[in-house]
């Protein structure tokens, strides 16, 4: 049985320069990030939420490290 070549045909498309909205994915002009104020507001809320989550994680890590170190400090001072 002869082997078939797996070369793909190259297809060229004429697509106008564009971007996609970072929130909903709609096509927008190249200089824009969002398609509407609604999407921009949604992205801002998401950024705020991620920043808050990042701060909570940092606080949890600091508390965890402190809980690991404090018993050793009491042992060194009391012992």
3-state secondary structure of 20: strand
11-22 residue pLDDT tens? 777 777 889 999
> Cα separations (Å) of 55 from 1, 17, 19, 22, 25?
63, 38, 32, 24, 29
Question: What are the beta bridge partners of residue 19?
Answer: 28
Question: Over the stretch 64-76, which tens digit does the pLDDT of each residue have?
Answer: 999 999 988 888 8
Contact 39, 24 (CB under 8 A): yes
């Amino acid at each position: 049985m002869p082997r078939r070549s797996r070369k793909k045909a190259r297809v060229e498309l004429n697509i106008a320069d564009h971007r996609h909205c970072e929130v909903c994915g709609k096509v927008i002009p190249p200089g824009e990030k969002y398609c509407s104020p609604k999407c921009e507001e949604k992205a801002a809320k998401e950024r705020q939420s991620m920043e808050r989550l990042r701060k909570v994680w940092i606080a949890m890590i600091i508390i965890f490290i402190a809980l690991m170190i404090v018993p050793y400090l009491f042992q060194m001072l009391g012992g």
